[in-house]
């Protein structure tokens, strides 16, 4: 009897504890997480009224403050763009450019191209020596590397079309940060010390971002010249940057260092509203950036390439999943090199590239037994008819309007050249052109004549700001920096959520891999694949190379309970804030 009593009590305790665990999981699940294999996957970034995810905590706070004041997602985007120019100078900018993708609460979509342009004096072979060999440094460093900036005009255009709060309210937080200063993070201190020699080399007679001793975490960075430039933009809008004092300072800087940007280039610069790419993946609708971004076309090609295959059943980063994605990526990047460029200068065959039959036909010639050498992969026959320093931010407001913005100077701290008296960095976006067909740029990307240099032409980009909807409702806002890895990072983040049921933060945290046709290698973050998977892939002929962290994804997911769930990349100082 005693033994039966013990057994009975044992099972009673077991069922009681199981019941309590189940109830606990259900209650917590209803709040913000999910119960997987008996464990709660918690997420501390779930909010109802809006969210900002950006590369710097102060920029995210600026955006959130704008949302709380009654601003919409575009208002917050403008404020964050200018704040990043102050607190994240290696990529945030007023001397660069970017792309913006917008989705309203009612489903209206738009995309804004404020990509930089080649100066009017630029020429096809401007970075080649007398033997026709690329002069690499000239497109990467110094005054000759800079394209005509687009960020200020882009923000003005976005605000004019969709903004709600006054312009000065959106610029003032950035002015305050520049004028009063802010405490730099540990990562920023390390970067400023790393680039100290470059700042000194390319900026004789200037002291921007320089000090006599080493930078340390907590040092206060004040930028008085930049604050004054921002005040001119606040008070005069476009004329405060593309004309007047600032324009004169840019021209003087060009003359001092042999750059090409002219007064007319600044006066004539215009950002462009373009029709976004819209496509489906299963029950999801993706809105993304069209050319001169290559990202949107490539993202849709990748999603369509894997759509017929059971990657969910194969599992996250299994050998079959990695092999399929690698084979898709090598074909997509081969197409990118041949067919994509500025649509105002080159007839980009966007419709044909996104043709589902064409995409599926590209995947018909690979073998599960062996890797396909990239040397045998060329661009398909069409049917008739960034150092990787960019930055991305994602925003959703209380009404459900969403904005995805990716903005850049190209390399970290751009051309390394500051505009004397204005206090901001110039980009080195000219390297994103194909300096010579078949020659790689700083990210190893190969290009052709479609992306050749021409006066007033926009250079091709990999930036991929994207917004997803499901059943007509907002689902995800996503993007990342990372040069050539931008496309694959956005792609993997999307399928990690859709196919592998990861939370937004876990999808952002996930280790990534990347293939870009040439060089013919799978680049992996440490821990992205296990040793057995590596062995299986290498036996099939895949070369696997470990590299530094890939991407810094900032994303927002609207979960099934209607809460916004943030994903801020731990690879940087990225921060998700909501209310």
Three-state SS for 528? Answer: coil
For residues 438-445, give the mean pLDDT.
Answer: 64
Show the tokens assigned to 386. 């960034």
Question: Mean pLDDT throughout 388-406?
Answer: 94
pLDDT of residue 13: 42
Between residues 280 and 16, the one the model is more confident about: 280
**Residue-wise pLDDT tens digits, 218-254:** 999 999 999 999 999 999 999 999 999 999 999 999 9
392 pairs with which residues across the strands? 406
Where residue 472 falls (left for φ over 0; alpha for ψ -120 to 50; beta otherwise) is left
- Give yes or no for residue 128 having a pLDDT over 50: yes
318 closest CA partner among 2, 541, 533: 533
pLDDT at 435: 82
Averaged pLDDT, 258-279: 98
Of 133-142, 385-394, 471-480, give the lowest mean pLDDT range: 385-394
Q: pLDDT by residue (tens digit) across 85-123?
A: 999 999 999 999 999 999 999 999 999 999 999 999 999
pLDDT of residue 344: 96
Distances (CA, A) of 374 to 368, 450, 482, 551: 15, 21, 22, 23
Burial level of 97, CB count in 10 A (0-12/13-18/19+)? buried
Domain with CATH 1.10.246.130 in the chain: 274-386+463-552
- What was the pLDDT predicted at 24? 41
The predicted structure's pLDDT at residue 9: 43
Question: How confident is residue 38, by pLDDT bands cut at 50, 70 and 90?
Answer: very low
**Neighbour-count burial for 228-239, b at 16+ CB within 10 Å, e otherwise:** bbbbbbbeebbe
Residue 6 pLDDT: 37
- Tell me if 494 sits within 8 A of 485, measured CB to CB: no
Q: Indicate the range of 192-206, 308-322, 362-376 predicted with least confidence.
A: 362-376
Domain 274-386+463-552: give its CATH architecture.
Answer: Orthogonal Bundle (1.10)
Of 393, 385, 398, 429, give the one whose Cα is nearest residue 411. 429
539-578, pLDDT tens digit by residue?
Answer: 999 999 999 999 999 999 999 999 999 999 999 999 999 9
CA atoms 261, 344, 160, 177: torsion sign: negative
Confidence of residue 15 (pLDDT cuts 50, 70, 90): very low
Q: Is 210 helix (H, G, I), strand (E, B) or coil?
A: coil
Selected catalytic residue, list 185, 285, 372, 390: 390
Environment class of residue 136 by beta-carbon count within 10 Å: exposed (0-12), middle (13-18) or buried (19+)?
A: middle
**Res. 12: pLDDT tops 50:** no
Are residues 82 and 169 in contact, defined by beta-carbon separation less than 8 angstroms?
A: no
Catalytic site residue 390?
A: yes
């Amino acid at each position: 009897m005693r033994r039966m009593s013990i057994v009975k009590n044992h099972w009673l305790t077991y069922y009681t504890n199981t019941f309590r665990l189940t109830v606990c999981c259900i209650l917590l699940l209803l709040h913000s997480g999910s119960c997987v294999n008996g464990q709660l996957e918690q997420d501390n970034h779930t909010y109802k009224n809006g969210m900002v995810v950006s590369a710097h905590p102060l920029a995210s706070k600026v955006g959130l403050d704008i949302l709380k004041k009654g601003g919409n997602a575009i208002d917050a985007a403008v404020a964050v763009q200018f704040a990043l120019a102050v607190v994240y100078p290696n990529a945030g900018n007023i001397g660069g450019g970017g792309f913006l993708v917008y989705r309203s609460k009612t489903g209206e979509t738009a995309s804004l191209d404020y990509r930089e342009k080649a100066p009017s004096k630029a020429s096809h072979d401007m970075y080649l020596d007398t033997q026709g060999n690329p002069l690499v440094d000239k497109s990467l460093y110094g005054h000759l590397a800079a394209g005509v900036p687009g960020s200020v005009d882009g923000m003005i255009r976005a605000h004019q079309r969709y903004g709600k709060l006054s312009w000065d309210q959106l610029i003032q937080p950035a002015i305050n940060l520049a004028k009063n200063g802010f405490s730099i993070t540990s990562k920023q201190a390390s970067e400023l010390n790393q680039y100290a020699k470059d700042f000194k080399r390319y900026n004789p007679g200037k002291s921007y971002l320089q000090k006599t001793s080493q930078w340390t975490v907590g040092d206060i960075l004040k930028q008085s010249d930049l604050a004054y430039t921002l005040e001119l933009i606040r008070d005069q809008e476009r004329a405060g940057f593309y004309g007047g004092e600032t324009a004169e300072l840019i021209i003087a800087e060009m003359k001092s260092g042999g750059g090409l940007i002219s007064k007319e280039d600044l006066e004539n610069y215009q950002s462009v509203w373009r029709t976004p790419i819209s496509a489906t993946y299963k029950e999801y609708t993706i809105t993304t950036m069209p050319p001169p971004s290559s990202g949107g076309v490539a993202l849709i090609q990748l999603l369509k390439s894997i759509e017929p295959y059971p990657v969910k059943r194969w599992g996250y980063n299994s050998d079959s999943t990695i092999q399929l994605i690698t084979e898709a990526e090598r074909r997509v990047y081969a197409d990118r090199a041949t067919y994509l460029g500025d649509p105002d200068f080159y007839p980009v065959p966007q419709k044909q590239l996104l043709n589902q039959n064409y995409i599926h036909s590209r995947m018909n010639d690979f073998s599960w037994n062996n890797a396909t050498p990239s040397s045998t992969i060329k661009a398909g026959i069409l049917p008739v008819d960034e150092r990787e320093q960019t930055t991305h931010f994602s925003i959703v407001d209380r009404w459900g309007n969403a904005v995805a913005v990716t903005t850049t100077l190209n390399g970290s701290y751009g051309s390394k050249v500051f505009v004397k008296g204005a206090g901001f960095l110039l980009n080195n976006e000219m390297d994103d052109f194909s300096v010579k067909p078949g020659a790689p740029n700083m990210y190893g990307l190969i290009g052709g004549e479609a992306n050749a240099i021409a006066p007033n032409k926009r250079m091709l980009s990999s930036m991929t700001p994207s917004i997803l909807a499901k059943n007509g409702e907002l689902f995800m806002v996503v993007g990342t920096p990372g040069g050539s890895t931008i496309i694959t990072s956005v792609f993997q983040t999307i399928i990690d959520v859709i196919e592998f049921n990861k939370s937004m933060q876990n999808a952002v945290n996930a280790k990534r891999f990347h293939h870009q046709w040439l060089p013919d290698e799978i680049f992996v973050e440490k821990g992205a694949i296990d040793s057995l998977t590596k062995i299986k892939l290498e036996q099939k002929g895949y070369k696997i190379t470990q590299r530094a962290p890939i991407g810094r994804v900032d994303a927002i997911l609207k979960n099934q309970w209607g809460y916004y769930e943030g994903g801020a990349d731990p690879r940087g100082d990225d921060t998700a804030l909501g209310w």
